Amino acid sequence: MWYIQYVTAQQLAGFRQYKYRAVDSNPLSVYIMQPLWNRIVKIVPLWIAPNLLTLTGFLMILIHYFILSIYDWDYTASGSSPGLIPTWVWGFGAFASFLAYTLDSVDGKHARRTQSSSPLGELFDHGLDSWATSIFPLSFFSVCSRDNGKVGVPVSTMYFSWIVISLNFMFSHWEKYNTGVLFLPWGYDISQVVTVGMYLLTAVFGVDVWHRPFIFGYYLTDILIMLIIVCCVFISLPQTFYNIHLAYGKRTLLKDSLYEGLLPLLSPMLLFTLLTIWVFLSPSEILVKQTRLFLWMVGVMFSNVIGKQLSQHFNIYIFSLKKYTK
């Protein structure tokens, strides 16, 4: 068979031993969203493939992104022409974001319910999550608008906000690479609920609500960006290091050396470093003149790097099982 040349018999045997391990300790998820997902998954027909749920959710946010690209290619519509983006686009954004959030939360439950969960399904799910992580902020920037001298945020702020969000996703899976457990970041559920609320607020009151001073001279868009940074840097990231520290103390880390533990960070960090150098030294001001194309390109490259690493993590995890099963 075609996969024999890539996957050994030992690896195939390991795939049968693999079990998805995740910990979700976010109170918002545990006490509010999880009970909702448990109800919703019961109404999903058993004949629907879990991967179809995953793909459908991703396609919803992708469609919304492309719609926004038509109306707001250069991220100026909300600031200079508030009525250019129709109200229905924001309403659809709220619907698409909530549906994607819901399907991404129930696909794993549905897989276990139908006894069809597998490493391939997890790889497909998290691979699309890496794409979604890139697309969500790119759609959010249409609400913010780029700086026009009066309202909006600088394109450099857009870029670095995107990096912070992507690094948060990367560190979450780096944590799993070292511990064998995916500790779901608190910032994820918070960001999804805020995104849905943001689109609903925009659909009801228009984009003008984001471009008026809210408190102490700060705009709501400034507050949202600060909230994103706070969730990623001061909540999710410390949790990642704390969980790795606990695994180290319990001697359950999958990696025996510091070099092996840090190795997955090399490619993404090199990517971000080179792209940032390009942004600041570009003679044509690539980020300013082609903001959407540049950020989309960065997202594609990030998803490609993360996708390759995720596929390698499964093999590493499988081989590491020997350490605890002997």
Q: What is the pLDDT of residue 323?
A: 47
Average pLDDT over residues 223-244: 84
- Whose tokens are 């697309």? That residue is 135
3-state secondary structure at position 183: strand
Terminal alpha carbon distance of the chain: 31
Instruction: Classify strands 182-183 and 22-23 as parallel, antiparallel or unpaired.
Output: parallel
Confidence check: pLDDT of 324 > 60? no
Residue 258 half-sphere exposure toward CB, CA atoms < 13 A: 0
Res 216: pLDDT? 74
Per-residue pLDDT band for 239 (boundaries 50, 70, 90) equals confident
Structure tokens at 262: 């840090």
249-271 pLDDT, tens per residue?
A: 888 888 878 888 888 899 889 99
- DSSP H or E run through 22: strand 22-23
Question: Could you count the other beta carbons within 10 Å of the beta carbon of residue 289?
Answer: 12
Nearest Cα to Cα of residue 210 among 224, 190, 196: 224
Nearest in space to 148 (alpha carbons), one of 225, 211, 70:
211
Query: pLDDT digit string (tens) for 86-103?
Result: 999 999 999 999 999 999
Q: For residue 14, what pLDDT is reported?
A: 57
